[in-house]
Structures are given as C-alpha cells and as structure tokens.
C-alpha cells in the first residue's frame, strides 16, 4: 500500500492516515458523517495485525477520555465524532487542552452544514478556539490523509491535542489518495511531568498559563504552515480568504486562474500576518468558509469599523447552509450558469422507516394507546431511525433534541404535571446518554413510561454494534426499575393487541415503567440470515 494511489472517502483517508501515523487506538461513537473513519480501521487487516484498538465507545465523552488516557500512556490516539458529539465530549475536550497531551492525540469532528443528517450545523472550529486547541481543516482527501501525520507531530511537538475539522462533503466524497510512510507505534511512556494530568486548582492554574503561553508558538507554527498559503493575484480590487474545501469551489470557477490574491487556510490559530498583508493590499475582502462565519466575525470585530469584508454576515454568501460552486460563483460576481427548472409536480421524497421495520409496529401500538386516548403531545423521542416517527403516516413523536433527551424531557414534563409523559429511545442511544436520566427518574419514582426500542444495533448510521446488545434488561433492573414494570414485547402485527394493553397498564401505574419492544433491525436480521446461509 506504500506510496500507492488508492480511492478513499475523506473519512477513510483520515483512517488510513492514522494507521500510517502509528496510532495505537481509535475511539468513537457512530455519527454521520464521521462513522466511516472508525469503520475503516475496524475493517483494516493492517490495523488488526498492528493490534490497533478500534471498538466503539459508549459515547463521545468516553471516547475522548479513553483517547486522552492512551495519550497519557505515551501512545498516539484518535477520537472521532460528529459535530454534536463534540458537545457531549466537551468537558473532556476542553480540559485536555489544559492537561496537554503526552503521546500525540487527534480529535476529529465532522461538521454537517446544511444538516443532511443532523439537528444543527454548528461549526467545530469554535470549540477549537474556545479550548485553545490548534485546528486542522483539510481541503481535499489528500490533505485529509497528510494532515493526520502532521497533526500528530504538531500534537507531540507542543504537547497538546489537535482538532481536525472536516465537513460532510469531504467526509463522504471519494478521490485518489497517495499514501506515505508507515510509522511504528510509540513506546509506552509516562508523562515527564507527573502532575501534568492532575487538574487540581493549584496545578490547573499553572497548566492553564502554560496553555496560554503556547498560543504564540502555535500561531507562529500556523503562520509558517504549508497548509496556510498566500497566493498572489494581479487584481487587488478584492482579496479572498478561503478555508478548507471552499478552495475547491473557488478553483472550480476560476480553473486555477483566479485574478484575485488568495489566503488559503487549512490550519488555525488564524495566520494573522498573511491576513494582514491581504487586507492592506486589497480594497475589499471576501471570506469563504463552510460552516459559520468564524473568521469573518474576527475580521469585522465588534464594531464593524472600516468594513470592507464580505461574506456570510453581510449577505454575499448565504448565512447558513453548505457552500457549493454556484454560491461562490455568485459571491465572486461571475454570471450564473442555469440549468432546466425542476418540473413542479416532482414531489419531495423524505426518508422513511424501512418496510418491515419493528418501529412501525411499535408506533402503531403507541398511537392507539397514547395519542388516540390522550391526544397529541405526550411522546418525547430521541436520535435514531425512530425519529422518522415524526413524519406521516405516524406523527407519533413530539420532540427530538439531543442524545438521551427523551427520558429526561419526559421526566421534566411529568414533574410539571403532564400525564401521561412517555419517552422513546433506541437501545444504542439509551447506552450513550439515556441510562443516567433513567436513574434520575427511578430515584424520584417519576410517573413516566419509557420505551426502549431494542433493535440490536446502532441502525441509523449503518448497523454498528451496540453496547446494549443483550444487556438492556439487566441495565434497567440494575438501575432500579421494578421487574413487574419492565415489560419486554416482540413488536409484530400479531402482538398488536397485547402491546396496546401493556402500554395502557403501564400508563395506569404511577411510577417508572420501561417497555422494551425487542426485534432486530431488518438489515441486521438479513445479515444474520445471510451468515447462517453461508454456514449451511
């Protein structure tokens, strides 16, 4: 594989980069568009031979903490997540800047501008800046590969974790990547400073000062980085600052022949000197960044004084959503090329639960027992395939906020007096962030009914293994759910009447009830059947 060109998704390029950079472990919870990074390592023969850890973590926080522990032990580690996963991991992430790293540590956060598969389009670069952690933002698959090794060198040179920020378009786009040198894994080695990782206030204050002092060195590194380039142009009417993969859209429009000077950014802290040069030379500045206007805000400052900056805030670029070649074409003032209009009759085709999915039967029973009896507004749901229960023909759920919020929001609503208050959560999401909320409810004997849709997998992201497999019942009992109010049912059409009856009984019970419709995801079932067929 050495120095060979291979076709890789952006996610896969990062994974191969990590294997080649000598990581000893990758830690992650599945989340679109980041899932394929860890999947690639799990399926890599090479990673298996090198004994690289790649099992899924319970959530993003446990993932970052494990990666930090591996770094503590002197080895290179990676933690991967989608952007909202970084919220879950934020406590560990922000504090890891203060402890610093021992072995190189990379946190990869995959943002989803335009919310192709997410609840928001937050920009992870803000988190990097907030935590004083340097950021790498690859513009294409090759850079994604190359930056991983560079990121580990950066991390070890400055003893600090490094954030790599990608977006959906790079994560899920394939291109040829030339792979490089393969590094050996680090030896086990404890930190030189034995107090480095103890964030007691007295030590944390010192460590924090060290972190702040590192910033000027990180800035210098960024100014001189090959990933931050000043590319000259003759026409100084406008200068263009372009971050990450927005550069590709710009070049698509100019075909390597942009008349304006450009500052191309792939590494942060923001390279101040290069930007200063551009702003002094040019009459106006256009900022192109996929995600939120981080750089544009900094350039404008609070007072918007002497403004010659154009971008998302001033409206030359739309305030939200993913960038594309047409948006940039408009922003640089070139004439738009238009295709044929979509005929009016073309109907939207939203995603839907698969034919034969067990969630369909669960929602049918729930609608009859809850919505038909008490009206709409009683079902707090969560993140997973079952979120599609919000759409017709079910219209069965009323909320979807963040991982685990179903149980806790139902609890809050029950505390406020809502009856019945029910929650829907999948088995994998329950493990991720639902268990603690269940404990809250059990302790207070809150009057709620919780449905744990157990389909034996993390289905939405493509059927990854779930830690919940075979453990849901024991976990609930262990957390203190009464055995007689822990009801397990097979959600199939012939059980519909029984299912409705169970729900009604548990709504009538004043306390915590957990109903577990248990039936494997049809895709998992197909895989199991195919495996059994092979054995025959």
Partner 1 sequence: MKSDIILAGVGGQGILSIATIIGYAAVESGLYLKQAEVHGMSQRGGDVQSNLRISDKEIHSDLIPEGSADLILSVEPMESLRYLPLLSKDGWLVTNSTPFINITNYPDQEKIDKAINDLPNKIYLNADQIAKDLFNARGMNMVIAGAASVFIDIPFAKMEEGIKVIFGKKGESVVEKNLNCLRAGREYSEKNR
Q: Is 354 in the site for partner 1 (CB under 8 A)?
A: yes
Q: DSSP letter at 369?
A: I
The helix/strand/coil state of 336 is coil
Q: Is 33 in the site for partner 1 (CB under 8 A)?
A: yes
Q: Is 530 in the site for partner 1 (CB under 8 A)?
A: no
Contacts with partner 1 in 99-138 (CB under 8 A)?
116-117
**Calpha distance 253→267 (Å, rounded):** 24
Query: What does DSSP say about strands 284-288 and 238-243: parallel, antiparallel, or unpaired?
Result: parallel
Cα torsion for 516, 522, 524, 526, to the nearest 10°? Answer: 140
Shorter beta-carbon distance to partner 1: residue 269 or 358: 358
Binding segment (CB under 8 A) for partner 1, from list 73-81, 228-236, 284-292, 349-357: 349-357
Binding segment (CB under 8 A) for partner 1, from list 129-137, 149-157, 284-292, 320-328: 320-328
Adjacent-strand bridge partners of 411: none
Binding segment (CB under 8 A) for partner 1, from list 167-175, 201-209, 219-227, 430-438: 167-175
**Calpha distance 356→171 (Å, rounded):** 30
Angle, in degrees to the nearest 10, between helices 201-223 and 90-99: 80
Separation of first and last alpha carbons in the chain: 35
Q: Are 128 and 94 in contact (CB under 8 A)?
A: no
Among 44, 95, 119, 175, binds partner 1 (CB under 8 A): 175
**Calpha distance 402→83 (Å, rounded):** 12
Q: Is 234 in the site for partner 1 (CB under 8 A)?
A: no
Shorter beta-carbon distance to partner 1: residue 35 or 518: 35
Structure tokens at 119: 């609840």
Binding segment (CB under 8 A) for partner 1, from list 214-222, 333-341, 416-424, 428-436: 333-341
The helix/strand/coil state of 488 is strand
**Sign (positive/negative) of CA torsion 377, 380, 384, 386?**
negative
Q: Is 389 in the site for partner 1 (CB under 8 A)?
A: no
Binding segment (CB under 8 A) for partner 1, from list 122-130, 227-235, 244-252, 297-305: 244-252
Q: Is 342 in the site for partner 1 (CB under 8 A)?
A: yes
Q: Is 346 in the site for partner 1 (CB under 8 A)?
A: yes
Shorter beta-carbon distance to partner 1: residue 314 or 395: 395
Q: Is 252 in the site for partner 1 (CB under 8 A)?
A: yes
Shorter beta-carbon distance to partner 1: residue 200 or 336: 336
Angle, in degrees to the nearest 10, between helices 10-20 and 141-157: 40
Q: Which residue has the tokens 């971050």?
A: 243
Contact residues toward partner 1 (CB under 8 A) are: 7, 9, 32-33, 35-36, 116-117, 169-170, 172-176, 245, 248-249, 251-253, 255, 324-326, 329, 336-343, 345-354, 385, 388, 392, 460-462
């Amino acid at each position: 594989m050495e120095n060979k060109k291979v076709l890789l998704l952006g996610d896969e390029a990062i994974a191969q980069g990590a294997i080649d950079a000598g990581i000893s472990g990758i830690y992650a919870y599945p989340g679109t568009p980041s899932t394929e990074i860890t999947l690639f390592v799990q399926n890599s023969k090479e990673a298996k031979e090198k004994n690289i850890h790649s099992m899924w973590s319970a959530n993003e926080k446990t993932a970052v903490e494990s990666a930090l522990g591996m770094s503590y032990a002197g080895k290179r580690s990676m933690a991967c997540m989608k952007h909202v996963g970084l919220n879950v991991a934020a406590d560990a992430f922000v504090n890891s800047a203060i402890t610093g790293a021992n072995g190189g540590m990379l946190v990869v956060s995959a943002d989803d501008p335009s919310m192709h598969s997410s609840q928001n389009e937050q920009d992870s670069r803000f988190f990097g800046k907030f935590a004083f952690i340097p950021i790498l933002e690859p513009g294409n698959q090759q850079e994604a590969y190359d930056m991983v090794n560079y990121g580990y060198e950066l991390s070890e040179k400055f003893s600090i974790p490094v954030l790599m920020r990608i977006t959906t378009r790079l994560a899920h786009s394939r291109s040829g990547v030339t792979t490089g040198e393969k590094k050996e894994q680090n030896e086990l080695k404890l930190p030189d400073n034995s107090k480095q990782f103890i964030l007691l206030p007295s030590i944390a204050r010192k460590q924090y000062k060290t972190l702040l002092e590192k910033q000027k060195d990180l800035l210098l590194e960024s100014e001189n980085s090959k990933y931050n380039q000043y590319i000259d142009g003759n026409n100084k009417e406008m200068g263009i600052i372009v971050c990450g993969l927005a550069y590709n859209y710009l070049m698509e429009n100019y075909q390597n022949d942009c008349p304006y000077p450009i500052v191309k950014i792939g590494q942060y802290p923001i390279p101040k000197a290069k930007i200063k040069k551009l702003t002094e030379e040019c009459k106006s500045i256009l900022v192109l960044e996929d995600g939120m206007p981080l750089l544009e805000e900094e350039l404008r400052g609070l007072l918007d004084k002497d403004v010659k900056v154009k971008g998302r805030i001033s409206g030359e670029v739309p305030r939200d959503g993913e960038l594309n070649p047409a948006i940039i074409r408009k922003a640089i003032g070139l004439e738009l090329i238009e295709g044929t209009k979509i005929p009016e009759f073309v109907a939207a085709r939203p995603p839907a639960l698969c034919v034969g999915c067990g969630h369909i039967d669960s929602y049918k029973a729930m609608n009859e027992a809850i919505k038909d009896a008490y009206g709409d507004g009683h079902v707090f749901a969560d993140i997973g395939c079952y979120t599609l229960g919000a759409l017709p023909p079910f219209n069965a759920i009323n909320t979807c906020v963040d991982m685990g919020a179903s149980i806790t929001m139902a609890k809050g609503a029950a505390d406020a007096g809502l009856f019945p208050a029910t929650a829907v959560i999948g088995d994998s999401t329950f493990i991720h962030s639902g268990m603690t909320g269940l404990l809250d409810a059990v302790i207070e004997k809150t009057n709620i009914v919780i449905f744990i849709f157990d389909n034996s997998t993390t289905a939405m992201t493509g059927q990854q293994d779930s830690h919940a497999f075979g453990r849901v019942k024991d976990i609930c009992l262990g957390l203190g759910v009464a055995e007689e109010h822990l009801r397990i049912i097979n959600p199939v059409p012939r059980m519909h009447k029984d299912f409705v009856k169970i729900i009604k009984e548990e709504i009538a019970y004043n306390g915590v009830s957990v109903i577990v419709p248990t039936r494997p995801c049809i895709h998992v079932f197909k895989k199991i059947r195919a495996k059994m067929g092979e054995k025959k």
